[in-house]
Amino acid sequence: MQGLEVRGLKKSFGGLTVAEGIDFDLAPGARKALIGPNGAGKTTFANLVTGKLTPTAGTIRFDGADIGALGESQRVKRGIAKTFQITTLFRSLTVRENIRLPILERRGHGGRIFGRAARDREVEAEIEALLDQFALLTLADRPVQLLAYGQQRLVELALTLALKPRVVILDEPAAGVPSSESHLILQAIERLPGDLAVLIIEHDMDLVFRVARSIVVLVNGRILTEGTPEQIGRDPMVRKLYLGESHV
Ligand SMILES: Nc1ncnc2c1ncn2[C@@H]1O[C@H](COP(=O)(O)OP(=O)(O)OP(=O)(O)O)[C@@H](O)[C@H]1O
């Protein structure tokens, strides 16, 4: 299968099992959300997929290949990326300078085929395209620390996309973003490449229901149910356990 294929995933910390029997698929072009109460195991699941954590049991395959033994940076090279956190941005550098860093990293600073000038032009063209995609062109030469919080989160997304991932995990992209800026996040997600597989972990149900075509509900480390937003919205168990009647 193309994309991500997780089977029987389990993670225990000592006697505490925080993921159990998780089967999960993410195909190219997917727009899937992972929701669940605090402590359900969402971040743990994301960290198992990126390789930050090692599973206790289970398999993770990408495009049919077992990637369970690969470390985090090897998985990034294969195309599996999780959003950068604002804390990883260089706050005194400009937006453009920040975006340049992962591009150079991805390209391995290599210049064996092209001359330096041609290579630089390619890098700058990539930066411009990302600035444009994330509506950051007018802010390109401003230090990140002077940007509004929602705009800083857009820079995070741009940095992640600079890695040219095929799977991207958006870990609470709207967390801390004031409602006056949340449309920026929604627009940015809507403008992600169509063939990119997107998994969004988010507590903001408005955002989840707008973006996701499929929603997975995690409770106590297990998948409770998976379905379309319409199915999840009217699932009585989900309403009772998590969403609360007022949300749907
Ligand atoms: N390194 C660790 N050692 C021990 N327990 C951990 C560790 N990391 C996470 N846990 C536990 O695993 C459970 C799941 O945590 P996790 O952060 O994955 O949940 P979550 O669904 O992402 O929660 P939230 O929505 O609050 O971010 C929690 O009970 C947490 O205390």
Handedness of CA 238, 242, 246, 248 (dihedral sign): negative
Atom of ligand 1 nearest to the CA of 36: 21
Rounded CA gap, 98 and 106, in Å?
Answer: 13
Compute, in angstroms, the gap from residue 219 CA to the centroid of ligand 1: 12
| Closest atom of ligand 1 to CA, residue 45 | 18
ipTM of the complex: 0.95
Ligand 1 atom 26: residue of nearest CA: 38
In the chain, alpha helices (H): 42-50, 72-78, 95-107, 116-133, 149-161, 182-190, 205-211, 229-234, 236-238
Per-residue tens of pLDDT for the chain, all 248 residues: 899 999 999 999 999 999 999 999 999 999 999 999 989 999 999 999 999 999 999 999 999 999 999 999 999 999 999 987 767 788 899 999 999 999 998 888 654 555 676 678 899 999 999 999 999 999 999 999 999 999 999 999 999 999 999 999 999 998 888 888 888 899 999 999 999 999 999 988 889 999 999 999 999 999 999 999 999 999 998 888 765 554 44
Closest C-alpha to ligand 1, atom 29: 39
Tell me whether strands 16-26 and 57-62 are parallel, antiparallel or unpaired. Answer: unpaired
Q: Amino acid letter at 136?
A: L
Give ligand 1 pocket residues (Cβ under 6 A): 13, 16, 18, 36, 38-44
Looking at the domain that runs over 1-79+166-248, which CATH code has it been given? Answer: 3.40.50.300
Give me the half-sphere count of Cα atoms (radius 13 Å) on the Cβ side of residue 158.
30
Per-domain residue ranges for the chain? 1-79+166-248, 85-164
